[in-house]
Amino acid sequence: MTNPLLQKWSTPFEMPPFEDIQAAHFPEAFNQALTNHQGEIQAIASQTQAPSFQNTLLALEASGELLNQTSALFFNLSASHTSPEIQAIERDISPKLAAHSAAMFLNAALFERINKLHQERTKLGLDAESIRLIERYHLDFVRAGANLKDKDRQTFAHYSEKLASCFTQFSQNVLADEAAFCMVLTEADQLKGLPDFVKSAAKQLAKERGLEQHNAHAFTLSRSSITPFMTFSERRDLRQSMWLAWCKRGENPGAHNNETVMKEILKIRLAQARLLGYQNFSEYALADTMAGSAANARDLLMRVWTPARLRAIQEREDLKTLSGLSDLAAWDWHFWTERVRKEKFDLNEAEIKPYLQLHKLMEAMFHVANRLFGVSFKQVENIAKYHNSVTGWEVTSADGKHVGLFLSDNFARSSKRSGAWMSTYRDPMNLTQEVRPIVVNNNNFSQGPEGKPTLLSLDDARTLFHEFGHGLHGLLSQVKYPRLSGTSVLRDFVEFPSQVFENWLMQPQILTEFALHAETGEPMPKALIEKILAAQTFNQGFTTVEYVSSALVDLALHETVDIEHLNFQEFESKTLQSIQMPPAIGMRHRLPHFSHLFSSNSYASAYYVYMWAEVLDADGFDAFIEAGDIFAKDPSQKLHEHIYSAGNRQDPMQAYVAFRGREPTVAPLLTKRGLPAL
C-alpha cells in the first residue's frame, strides 16, 4: 500500500492528510528520511570543491526535507494525540534520531568545511544574516562535540542517543500518571463549594471519559481541572488528595517512577559537559544564553526572590487569620486566597469567569495581532485534522498576502500531555522560494458542556495569550534561513515575544470589547475591570515564590556533581531550606514531573528564562504606555521588525535595543508584580 508520508500532499495548505495516516506508516517514512538525509550530508561533506557558503551552509539548510516533515508531524502527534502505537514508535525512533544528529555534528569532514568558513566569514562578502548563520552553525557543532577527538567523540554520540531514550521514558511516565488519575465525585457533600461552571465542566469531563455513575463529576490533573477544584472545594480532605496526586506524578512506586531515569539524565548531562571542558552542566547550558552564567541568572532570581518571599510570608499570615488554621498547608492556599481576595477587593473567580469565554478571547487575541501587526485571521473548515476539536485559521497580511496557517488545539484529553505549548508542522523559510509556516497552539482547558461556551480563568486567559505570542513569533518570521527563523532564538529570549503579548489581555479597552457575559452578552462592567486591575498584584508573593523556587532548584540541581548519591526529595528540601522557602507553598514543579528539565535539554538549568523574559516584557510594554497608546504605531512597527519577524538574525540584546532604544531595566518587573525594589 502507498505510504501517505512519502507522497506529496495536495491537501489545502499542504496539511498532513491525517485521515490517511496510520502509526504503522511512520517507521518506513523515518527510515527513508534518515537514508535520504545521510546521503545529503555525505555528499556535502565529501565534495572535492573548496567549501563555500553555497555548497556547504546553504546545502545543509536545504537538506533533510523529508526528515523535517516526518519528525514535525510525528512529534506533534506524540504530544497532542498519542496512542500506545505512537508511544512504542517514539521509544524506538528517538535514539535513532539522536544518533543521526550526533553523526552529523561529529562528521569531521563536514565540520572542517564549516570551520574554514567560520574562520573566513568576514572576508566572504556576505550580509550580516549570512554571517550570523555561519556563526550559529559553527557554535552548534562545537557544542555538540565537533572538536572532540577519537574515543571522546564516540562516547559523546553514545550519550546523546541514550539521552533521547531517557527523555521519552520520562515524558511517557508523567503522562501515564496524569492519564491514570481521575477523581470522580457523585455526592452533593463532595461537591460542596464548587460553582456551577466548575461542576458543569466536571460533568462534561465525566461524559467524555465515558463515566456512567449517576451525577458523576470528574476531576483530573490538568491545571484547568485541578486549579478551580483547589480554589472552590470546601472539602479540605479532597483538596489534599488532589494536591498529593499532583505532587506525586512521576514519583509513585512502580513502572512509572522517574527517579532512575532522572539520575541517568543528570549523569549523562554532566559527563557530556565535562567532555566539552565545563565543570558542570549548568555552566555548559548557560554559556549560550543572554544570562551567560548561572551566577547572572541566580542574581536576577534572588533580586526578585527576596521581596517576593517577604510578601508571601505576609500573604500567609492573611490566610491564617481568615481561615483560623494553625496548620495551613499547600492544599489550603488557593482556597483561602480566593476568600482573602473577596474580602480585600470584593472580587472572586466565580464573578469573573462568565465573562471570559474562550471564543471571545480568541477574537481578542486576533484583534490585538491585527492592530499591532496588520495580520488577519479567517477560520477555515476544509483542512485535515488529527482531532475534531482542532480549529484552523488562515493568516493574511494587511495587503492580503498569505502569512501562514494557525491551528488551535485548546482542550485537555488523556492522549495529550499536560501544559501549554506552541509548535510547528512546517517552519518558515526563504531559501529558493518562500515557504510559509503551519503553527499550532496547544492548551489544556476544560471544555464547556455541549452547546455552552468554554469559560476560562484569568490564568487560563493569560496562557491563551502567552502561547499565541509564541505563535505570532513563528507566523511572522521573515528570516531567510531555517536555522535562524521563527522561535529559533536563544532560550532566555524566546519567552519575550510570548510574555509581552500577555500585557494586552488586561487592558480595559480589550476587556470592555471582548469580555462579554456568557449568558447576557453584556460587556464586563467598568467597576469589575477596575477591581481586576486593582487586584493584579494580589498574591504575587505566592505566585513569584512558587516559580522562583523551582528555577533556583533547577540551577542548583544542574550544578550538582555527586549524582550517584542524590536523593531528590532531600535535595529539594535542602535547597528550599537554604533559600528559606515560606511554609505552605509548594514548588510550581517538583522534580519527578518537571518536564521542562527532563523531557529534553531545552530548559534544563534554564527554567529561570521566564523571569529573565519578564524583565524584557515589563520594560518592553512600557514603550506603549509611554507612547500613550497600546497600539502606538512606532513601537508596534519596531516590535514587529526587530522581534516578531526577526528570528535569530542578530544578537538578542541588540534586537531588544533596536526595538526599545536602550537596554532593559528590572524596575518595571518589580512594579508589575507589586514588589518593592530592595
Residues designated catalytic = 467
Query: Nearest Cα to 466, choosing from 601, 602, 610, 598?
Result: 610
SS3 (DSSP) at 481: coil
Give the closest residue to 334 by CA, choosing from 626, 539, 475: 539
Give CB contacts under 8 A, 24+ apart, made by 292-301: 294/555, 294/558, 294/559, 294/605, 297/492, 297/551, 297/555, 297/606, 297/608, 297/612, 298/552, 298/555, 298/608, 300/608, 300/611, 300/612, 300/615, 300/666, 301/548, 301/551, 301/552, 301/555, 301/608, 301/611
C-alpha cell at 192: 460542596
Residue 639 CA to residue 661 CA, distance in Å, equals: 11
Q: How far apart are CA 596 and CA 359, in angstroms?
A: 29
C-alpha cell at 57: 551552509
CA-to-CA distance for 4 and 11, rounded, in angstroms?
12
- Length, in residues, of the chain: 678
Distance between CA atoms of residues 656 and 639, nearest Å: 9
Beta-carbon neighbour count of residue 47 at 10 Å?
Answer: 14
Distance CA 147, CA 138 (A): 11
Distance CA 6, CA 19 (A): 15
- In angstroms, the Cα distances linking 337 to 312, 319, 347, 582, 592 are 11, 7, 11, 15, 27
State the Cα–Cα distance between residues 529 and 356, nearest whole angstrom: 12
